Amino acid sequence: MTPAQLSRTLRHALDRAVAAGALPPPAEPPHRVTLRRPPHGAADYASNLALRLAPGTARPAREVAAVLRAHLAGAPGIAAVDVAGPGFLNITLAPDARPGPVRELLARPEPARLPEDPARDAARWARATGAPPTHERRATNPLFRVQYAHARTRALGAGARALGFRAEPGACGGAPCPAERELTALLADADRVAGAGDDAALARHLVRTADTFFDLHDARPVLPSGDEKPGAAHRARLAFAEATGTVLAGGLTQLGISAPEHL
């Protein structure tokens, strides 16, 4: 399930609540339901829809959230909905719904990338982040980590092709690890961050995406080792890698920075 699909699911829950008389019709029906990553807990998304609706209902936001929660129960792709804080809806997706953002990213063409120019890249990264330009290619340099993560995703894709398997979104094998959940959330949030027009926030998001990708790769390697045969888990891990590469290339290009294939 993608953020856009979940947004529609929330709007439909509101429509059902209004039709059932559980909530009054909003004076200004929301055309878009905002979703964010929750600051705490293991939920996949948080929505402030109840907080936005509460003033027009003369009811506390937590009560409005409880009504919406009841009408979200059992919706396809949703495993759990909890009311948090003053009235946020924290939504946990069903395991088979989590690959939605990855699948959507895999279907996108990559943007035309800029020619590599380390001096220009360092200057533009510094302009976006407000940090002094850093030209050294080492792990302490956030720009290097982002560019290296992109190059690594492309190398993994080449390695997978050589072994004869392709990406297929799914579970990465075993119980979901924190890095898998975190990377899923970051990939799903990429369009919102890129569209906000805040270069510093975009740069931070790229760094977190790159670092979390490496965490997932360390925990769940993409390529099989030794005599191991590629399986569904390897195809799912490759899907995460390729989706990550798409997000990193898009973000770097938006900042006017190259996304090298090799480093």
Q: What is the DSSP string of 46-102?
A: EE-HHHHHGGGTTS-HHHHHHHHHHHHTT-TTEEEEEEETTTEEEEEE-GGGTTHHH
Question: Tens digit of pLDDT for each residue in 210-251?
Answer: 999 999 999 999 999 888 999 999 999 999 999 999 999 999
Q: Buried (b) or exposed (e) across 21-48, using 16+ Cβ within 10 A? A: eebeeeeeeeeebebeebeeeebbbbbb
Q: Please spell the DSSP secondary structure of 11-38, one letter per residue.
A: HHHHHHHHHTTSSPPPSS--SS--EE--
Which domains are assigned to the chain? 3-96 (3.30.1360.70), 98-254 (no CATH)
Most confident of 43-52, 96-105, 117-126, 131-140: 117-126
Q: Point out which residues pair with 84 in neighbouring strands.
A: 88
User: Which pairs with CB-CB distance under 8 Å and at least 24 residues apart come from 63-67?
Assistant: 64/23, 65/89, 67/17, 67/22, 67/23
Q: Point out which residues pair with 83 in neighbouring strands.
A: 89
132 against 65, higher pLDDT:
65
Q: For the ranges 72-76, 161-165, 236-240, which has the lowest average pLDDT?
A: 72-76
pLDDT at 209 over 80: yes
User: Which pairs with CB-CB distance under 8 Å and at least 24 residues apart come from 49-52?
Assistant: 49/10, 49/14, 49/89, 50/83, 50/87, 50/88, 50/89, 51/86, 51/87, 51/88
Residue appearing with tokens 């890249």: 121
pLDDT at 149 over 90: yes
